[in-house]
Structure 1
Amino acid sequence: MADRVSSLDLWPIGNCQVSGLIDADGALVWGCVPRVDSDPIFCALLNGERQEEGVWRLSLEGQISARQEYRRNSAVLSTVLEAADGSAVEILDFCPRFRRSGRMYRPVAYVRIVRPLAGTPRLSVNLSPKKDYGAEIAPRTNGTNHIRYLVGHQAIRLSTNAPVGYILEGQTFRVESDLHFFLGPDEPFGGNVRQQLEDMLEATEDYWRTWVRGLATPLEWQEAVIRAAITLKLCQHEETGAIVAAMTTSIPEAPGSERNWDYRYCWIRDAYYTVQALNGLGALDVLEKYLAYLRNIIDSARGGRVQPLYSVMGVPELVEEVAENLPGYRGMGPVRVGNDAYTQVQHDAYGQIVLPTIQGFFDLRLFRMADLRDFESLEDVGEMAWKFHDQPDAGLWEFRTRQEVHTYSALMSWAACDRLANAAAHLGLTDRHELWSQRAKAIAEKIDAEAWNEEHGHYASAFGGRHLDASLLQMIELRFHGSGDERFKKTFAAIEQTLRRGEHMLRYDTEDDFGRPETAFNICTFWLIEALYLVGRKDEARELFETMLSHRTRSGLLSEDLDFTSGELWGNFPQTYSLVGIINCAALLSKPWTVAR
């Protein structure tokens, strides 16, 4: 229907192998197979006005309302559709995830269960996956109880106890008992589809509730933290341990801006912040798998340059192209596949490899503790941080047309050397401790000498510069300065005056390759909240945090950007950076558990 408009009012489902996004009417509008960075067989989100292609929609005849919620502490979504005549159905959406036969069962599969709740509901099923990034509807064949779709070089199969003929013809039919749909591998579905999917539902819910039970949540804002944590876990490709920046590509950062990027890859920077936040909650399973991913990246680099991002399989080449057959989010193309940022020089990546890896030398809870061989490999990364700490790069904001010696990159290089010194001391390597300590001190002195702008009285975003960016607020988080340091306080005051827009924060306000930024960057607003708290403005920090929580979607999540005038969310979704902000700020601002005892 032409009146359907794409929105970020979306509900993620997944199992750390495959993921999908469900819209406000219960339609599966985004889902890539067999991985998050693969061809989106469900692409209605980016299909402009063609909302009935690349979708799995269950439509209730005469529908007047829909309400949605996740089942408690899980990634199982419930959508209740109600019709004008009082009839209603519930749709349960999930991707199976549970332990079976001694290993995690997480198939490339989507499960949908439809339960009649009231009256005499009549339903139609539009299952129309596409292939080759929207180029064509996937060809199909069928049997008595299944439909087979050819998507690219593989096939997927729908196994169901619903009438297959009705589905093939898009015919509306009466729902008199529970319907079960399993869209997964192209192989016969053994056993009773109804019973097996009910068992999968119970086991998947049990898995997620057990996982959440192990989280060390703050007292306040627990629901917000739990939903953010579950979603961050869904952004990990468990097979390799990679963590993607978001599940989508090419949601524009601002309307018509063409700031449309493919975020379905593992940025070393974003993943660092993700594991840092989840570590604070005690979710070590995500860290352990990500450390394995990093070890493979380090081995492949062989002491050479580390890229800012890789595919979830660790592939370094991510050539950027345009998917010509997809009009884009609300018709706002281009839709990009791949990301040329992989060719950029971003020196902060070395610090972001070292910082999460260092935990492996200290944390006795880990199944695999880091050892001397790991330290020696990590020193290769540290050598690159030392070598390039004062060299120009594209910076964390990934400027495509200019390079400078970015202060944030130098800070990360300092942190790499500082943490290597800590690990060396822990391992009893006195000479290596001394070496890395001296290097950390030298970089710190260079930052104070080159990044401090005496004329304007603040640190600048680049050596010898005068402009500001929000990443300078990370000086406290990295322990480069304490919140009481006079230079930091002056820098914070300058950042507030220059980059703050009411209740929101820009990443920078200078022109880049596409002009001046038009929207606030959500993680930067969370950095502002942390800084406000740490300099003693605690009430203001709590108030601003509550405001940010009010901007979440009904699913409790955030995208990358926010229009600071209208409050509308923009940018790829769900954005790991933004969810990290929810977790970190809640932990910082919450009252202690002792208050409740």
Structure 2
Amino acid sequence: MAKRYPDISDHGLIGDLQTAALVSTDGTIDWFCSPRFDAPSVFGSLIDAQKGGFFRIRPVGMEYVTRQLYLPDTAILITRFLTDAGVGEVIDFMPVAEGPATDRHSIVRMVRVVRGEMTFEGEIQPRFDYGRAPHRLVPSGPGAKFVSDDLVLTLHRVGDPILHGDERAGKVEVVDGGVKVTITLRAGELTGVMLESGDVDARQISEDELIGTFLETRRYWRRWNDRSTYTGRWREMVARSAITLKLMTYAPTGALVAAPTTGLPEQIGGERNWDYRYTWIRDASFSVYALLSLGYQDEAEAFVGWLLQRIHEGVGSDTAPLRIMYRVDGSSDLDEETLDHLSGYRKSRPVRVGNGASDQLQLDIFGEAMDSIHLADTHGLELPHAGWMKVRQMLDWLCDHWDTPEEGIWETRGGPQKFTYGRFMSWVALDRGIRIAQSHGRPASMTRWVHERDRIYERIMESFDPTRQAFVQHDGSDVLDASLLLMPLMGFITPRDPLWMSTLEAIDEALVSDSLVYRYDPAAAPDGLRGSEGTFTLCSFWYVDALARSGRLDEARLVFEKMLTYANHLGLYAEEIGLTGEQLGNFPQAFSHLALINAAVNLDYQLDHGSGDVEPVLRRGRRID
């Protein structure tokens, strides 16, 4: 019997590079938005089992256990059902839509029996616009259409399997505006459906066409995976993380969403339920490091181009030159709305769409953006003149505003502060701008940039807390913050500096639970929200790198290996991990996977060459041939 709300970790991700769907281990698609990541959901039973809608295929009339795996080196998901009577599989994928933005997207669901005989039940119950919009079921040729005011889903049927004319052909029922189909298959028989978003005529798809689409999709993903240059110790996990990041990239613009879901809670039953289907400057900028470290230069170049467009649009406005997040097309209309009609995942309310944090000032994004631009520059992706002039204006703005109170990396809603991380990343922004200008002889406010960079450095050093013997979250606080684990990676401080070593020891004691790292202590630093949260997977992988650079290589490797045990059965991570190892928050989380890649690449190098060294390919400040 299916769980009403499966665990967050009980899912795999499929997608076509413009949108994505989650498939649970019982064969249910319980999350899918169309035509792109941030569109309203069509299937949303993950956030309301009664009103959200679903598309389920599973055995009936028998007990079964399930296993899920990806076809190796692809984003094709296989859900296996094991019974006394036989073994069956549901194979889910979305044909890749790499080109311009389109409203036409397809989910292919192949069903086959590999041993014995099994009866499958398929039921499709779409609920448009997060369950708010009514729809009509319209028969269409060999299939059907689900018609709402703003979107049409067309169900195409795959040609009948070889059933020898017997009673196994099953039946079709109309249930609650949806369709339920029952069919019995024997070993070697194959059937399936294709669900297409778009008002087209339903048709009967031949088995040859179905298999051809499958082979084409497999070919795409294996070719993409083969482009990776990573040859280190953790190839399988790194490859899966890379494919997952690719699945969360909107191909028409190169923008990376933080996660393909909304409303999945950081605490079950709590209110920390956010919409992550947007592109954060911070998250996506870190992806440049991960992509280049694996050899995916085209993807890194696409994002940097997207980023420069945002800078070009923002410079000269009445607000900060960059917003902290955007939609995948670069627009910034992210007004937050509460979906009061939805019960939320396991009664975790409210369910939000949009994101009210989009209007916050978070100074760290300028450092992350400039670090990615500088890194791209060292790999031959140099800024054109117009791009550099906009970057120059942005850094001039930062010189005037780096000491402004802000909301910080964690988007707390407890009021602005002068966060150490925001200052530290402002230092990074100016430092990287200075390096680019010096490297290429570009015009710059060099005297001013150097002066302000040095002022920031001195201000941070002056704020070192002598009681905690650590750098702390913000002025007037003694709270530790895991974001500061990036200080040595970004070159702000050497990893063997006594000030850093004592900070790392303080973080060990206050924020680390075995291998798991909390981002900060909400009890010590109220963030304006009720409830608690789990440990942040991102911070745990940052911790790996900080340990390795500080000479604690054995610990770093053990922590990394332990972190791998917290992945789900497919190698996927949500945003957080709870006390008993459960995945929490939106799923899968881009930040978690890009941090895994970066930790693996850096740890590999340091295990091979000694701790504290810097990777030759990604050395900051100059290009290494």
Q: Note closer, same or farther for the CA distance 1:42–1:425 as it changes in structure 2 (3 Å cut).
A: same
Partner of 1:130: 127
* CA distances 1:407-439 after superposition (whole Å, capped 9, x unpaired): 111111111111111111122137655543333
Distance 2:237 2:377 in 1: 31
Q: Contact 1:98–1:207 at 8 Å: present in 2 too?
A: no
From 542, 545, 553, the counterpart of 2:568: 553
Partner of 1:513: 528
Partner of 1:321: 337
TM-score (norm 1): 0.92
* CA distances 1:371-419 after superposition (whole Å, capped 9, x unpaired): 2221111112212322221110000111212111111111111111111
Distance 1:381 1:25 in 2: 50
From 470, 474, 478, the counterpart of 1:466: 478
Q: Contact 1:250–1:260 at 8 Å: present in 2 too?
A: yes
The AA in structure 1 aligned to 2:110 is I
Q: Note closer, same or farther for the CA distance 1:585–1:218 as it changes in structure 2 (3 Å cut).
A: farther
Q: CA deviation at 1:153?
A: 0.6
Aligned positions of 1:118-267 closer than 5 A: 118-135=115-132, 138-161=135-158, 166=172, 168=174, 170-175=180-185, 177-184=189-196, 185-188=198-201, 192-267=205-280
Q: Note closer, same or farther for the CA distance 1:487–1:355 as it changes in structure 2 (3 Å cut).
A: same
Q: Contact 2:315–2:394 at 8 Å: present in 1 too?
A: no
TM-score (norm 2): 0.88
Q: Contact 2:143–2:203 at 8 Å: present in 1 too?
A: no
Deviates more, 1:16-25 or 1:579-588: 579-588
Partner of 2:20: 19
Q: Contact 1:156–1:183 at 8 Å: present in 2 too?
A: yes
Distance 1:72 1:307 in 2: 38
Distance 1:82 1:285 in 2: 42
Q: CA deviation at 1:114?
A: 1.3
Q: Note closer, same or farther for the CA distance 1:105–1:438 as it changes in structure 2 (3 Å cut).
A: same
Identity %: 32
Q: Contact 2:59–2:119 at 8 Å: present in 1 too?
A: yes
Q: Contact 1:560–1:578 at 8 Å: present in 2 too?
A: yes
Distance 2:606 2:567 in 1: 24
Q: Contact 2:156–2:205 at 8 Å: present in 1 too?
A: no
What's the RMSD between the two structures over aligned residues?
Answer: 2.5
Distance 2:27 2:472 in 1: 47
The AA in structure 1 aligned to 2:437 is A
Deviates more, 1:495-504 or 1:432-441: 432-441
Partner of 1:503: 515
3-state DSSP class of the match of 1:463? Answer: coil
2:586 is the alignment partner of 1:584: no
Distance 1:216 1:105 in 2: 31
3-state DSSP class of the match of 1:296? Answer: helix
* CA distances 1:113-134 after superposition (whole Å, capped 9, x unpaired): 1122222321211011111212
Q: Contact 1:506–1:517 at 8 Å: present in 2 too?
A: no
Q: Contact 1:161–1:193 at 8 Å: present in 2 too?
A: yes
Which segments of 5 or more consecutive residues in structure 1 lack a partner in the other structure? none
Q: Note closer, same or farther for the CA distance 1:97–1:171 as it changes in structure 2 (3 Å cut).
A: closer
The AA in structure 1 aligned to 2:180 is G
The AA in structure 1 aligned to 2:105 is V
* CA distances 1:427-486 after superposition (whole Å, capped 9, x unpaired): 21376555433332232122222x322343321211343221111111111110110111
Q: Contact 2:158–2:205 at 8 Å: present in 1 too?
A: no
Q: Contact 1:255–1:332 at 8 Å: present in 2 too?
A: yes
Q: CA deviation at 1:328?
A: 1.0
3-state DSSP class of the match of 1:374? Answer: helix
From 355, 375, 380, the counterpart of 2:371: 355
Partner of 2:543: 528
Distance 2:365 2:600 in 1: 26
Which segments of 5 or more consecutive residues in structure 2 lack a partner in the other structure? 161-169, 610-625
3-state DSSP class of the match of 1:476? Answer: coil
3-state DSSP class of the match of 2:64? Answer: strand
Aligned positions of 1:281-430 closer than 5 A: 281-304=294-317, 305=320, 306-364=322-380, 366=381, 369-429=382-442
* CA distances 1:143-173 after superposition (whole Å, capped 9, x unpaired): 2222111245121211112679626452422
Q: CA deviation at 1:339?
A: 0.7
Q: Contact 2:278–2:326 at 8 Å: present in 1 too?
A: yes
Partner of 1:75: 75
Partner of 1:30: 31
Distance 2:386 2:205 in 1: 51
3-state DSSP class of the match of 1:229? Answer: helix
Partner of 1:91: 90
Q: Contact 1:27–1:57 at 8 Å: present in 2 too?
A: yes
